[in-house]
Amino acid sequence: MSKIVTIERFILDHQPDYARGEFTNLLYDIALAAKVIAHKTNRAGLVDILGRAGATNIQGEVQQKLDVFADDIIFRICDHTGRLCVMASEEREEIIPIPEPYKKGSYVLVYDPLDGSSNIDVNVSIGTIFGIYRCRNWEHRGQLEDVLQSARNLVAAGYVLYGSSTMLVYTTGQGVHGFTLDPELGEFLLSHEGMHLPEVPAYYSVNSAYFERWSPQVQKYVLWLQGREHSDAPKMSSRYIGSLVADFHRNLMRGGIFCYPPEKDKPQGKIRLLYEAGPLAYLVEQAGGYASDGRQSILDIEPTQLHQRTPFFIGNRSLVYRAERFIEQEIDLPGDG
- What are the residues binding Mg ion (CB under 5 A)? 112, 115
Least separation in angstroms between CB 270 and Mg ion: 9
Question: d(Cα 166, Cα 259) in Å, to the nearest integer?
Answer: 24
Smallest distance from ligand AHM to CB 130, Å: 14
Residue whose C-beta lies closest to ligand AHM? 244
CB of 246 to ligand AHM, least distance (A): 8
User: Considering beta carbons, is residue 87 or 206 the nearer one to ligand AHM?
Assistant: 206
Q: Does 117 bind ligand AHM (CB under 6 A)?
A: yes
Give the single-character DSSP code of 275. Answer: I
How many residues make contact with ligand AHM (CB under 6 A)? 8
Verify binding: residue 113, ligand AHM, rule CB under 6 A: no
Give the residue, chosen from 65, 104, 270, 317, that forms a contact with ligand AHM under the rule CB under 6 A. Answer: 270
Please report the DSSP string for 61-119 in residue order.
PBPPPHHHHHHHHHHHHHTTSS-EEEEEETT-SS-EEPPTTSPP-SEEEEEEEEETGGG
CA-CA distance, 152 to 145, in Å (whole number)?
Answer: 15
Q: How much is the CA Rg of the chain, to the nearest whole Å?
A: 20
- Please say which residue, 149 or 243, places its beta carbon nearer to ligand AHM: 243
24 contact partners, CB below 8 Å, separation of at least 6: 11, 12, 15
DSSP state at residue 228? S
Q: Is 244 in the site for ligand AHM (CB under 6 A)?
A: yes
C-alpha 2/C-alpha 331 separation (Å) is: 49
Residue 141, interface with ligand AHM (CB under 6 A)? no
CB of 249 to ligand AHM, least distance (A): 12
Asked if residues 286 and 171 have their Cβ atoms less than 8 Å apart, the reply is: yes
Looking at 56, 57, 165, 207, which residue binds ligand AHM (CB under 6 A)? 207
Phi/psi of residue 145, nearest 5 degrees: -65, -25
Segment lying near ligand AHM (by CB under 6 A), choices 23-31, 145-153, 240-248, 319-327: 240-248
CB of 242 to Mg ion, least distance (A): 11
Question: 105, 113, 116, 131: which one contacts ligand AHM (CB under 6 A)?
Answer: 116
Q: Binding ligand AHM by CB under 6 A: which of 34, 37, 87, 115?
A: 115
In 3D, which of 294, 192, 322, 296 has the Cα closest to residue 249? Answer: 192
CA–CA distance from 151 to each of 92, 219, 281, 293, 303 (Å)? 20, 28, 8, 13, 9
**Distance in Å, CB of 11 to ligand AHM, minimum:** 27
CB of 89 to Mg ion, least distance (A): 10
Kindly give, in sequence order, each residue whose CB lies less than 8 Å from that of residue 192, ignoring residues fewer than 6 positions away: 167, 169, 177, 178, 179, 180
CA-to-CA distance for 143 and 290, rounded, in angstroms?
A: 30
Our finding on whether 324 is near ligand AHM (CB under 6 A) is no
Residue closer to Mg ion, measured from CB, 7 or 126: 126
71 binds ligand AHM (CB under 6 A): no
Residues of the shown chain interacting with ligand AHM in the complex, contacts defined by CB under 6 A? 115-117, 207, 242-244, 270
